[in-house]
């Protein structure tokens, strides 16, 4: 793992949370992107070398909507930058980690992503991401 690439935070409404995080971080939202397949709208902020990703559900049955229903707004996942996502998935599987998706899929912000099931990581959703070059 190279670094913490971003921390994902579930929010009800980007229109409220973007100005809030702009004030909190004293930095502008530099990118907004929808990932239709995942039913989310995302908004990104830079914090030094890392980022904050806000996630808003596009539909009532989306994963983010369900998450907020259960746990409320707040911390959703931590994402680690990796150089070779396929090799890292193999390494982690050999260590016993269980993946939600072992085959990398295209996520927001020009990344290939895989998610590790929270049951294998002390309840925390972990994302691996590799920049698409």
- Taking the C-alpha atoms of residue 102 and residue 49, their distance in angstroms, rounded to an integer, is 27
Candidate ranges 14-22, 28-36, 77-85, 95-103; the one touching Zn ion (CB under 5 A): 77-85
Position 104 contacts Zn ion (CB under 5 A): no
Which residue number, 7 or 27, has a Cβ lying nearer to Zn ion?
7
Q: Convert residues 31-60 into a mask of x (bound to Zn ion by CB under 5 A) and - (unbound).
A: ----------------------x-------
Q: Smallest distance, Å, CB 24 to Zn ion? A: 19
Q: List the beta bridge partners of residue 129.
A: 81, 113
Chosen residue from 10, 11, 29, 79 binding Zn ion by CB under 5 A = 79
Q: Total number of residues binding Zn ion (CB under 5 A)?
A: 4
Of 84, 85, 67, whose CA–CA distance to 76 is shortest? 67
Strand order in the sheet with 50-57: 31-35, 40-47, 50-57, 3-10, 74-81, 125-131, 111-116, 105-107
Chosen residue from 8, 38, 43, 68 binding Zn ion by CB under 5 A = 8
Candidate ranges 10-18, 67-75, 76-84, 89-97; the one touching Zn ion (CB under 5 A): 76-84
Q: Smallest distance, Å, CB 90 to Zn ion? A: 21
Cβ-contact 36, 58 below 8 angstroms: yes
- Outline where the chain has alpha helix (H): 14-25, 63-71, 85-94
Residues of this chain that bind Zn ion (CB under 5 A): 8, 53, 79, 127
């Amino acid at each position: 793992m190279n670094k913490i690439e971003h921390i994902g935070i579930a929010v009800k409404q980007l229109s409220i949370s973007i100005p809030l995080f702009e004030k909190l971080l004293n930095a502008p939202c530099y990118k907004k992107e929808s990932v239709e397949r995942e039913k989310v709208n995302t908004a990104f902020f830079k914090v030094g070398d890392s980022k904050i990703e806000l996630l808003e559900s596009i539909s009532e049955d989306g994963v983010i909507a369900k998450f907020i229903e259960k746990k409320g707004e707040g911390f959703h996942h931590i994402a680690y930058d990796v150089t070779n996502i396929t090799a890292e998935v193999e390494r982690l599987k050999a260590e016993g980690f269980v993946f939600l998706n072992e085959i990398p899929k295209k996520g927001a912000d020009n990344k290939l992503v895989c998610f590790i099931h929270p049951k294998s990581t002390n309840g925390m959703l972990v994302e691996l991401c590799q920049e698409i070059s």
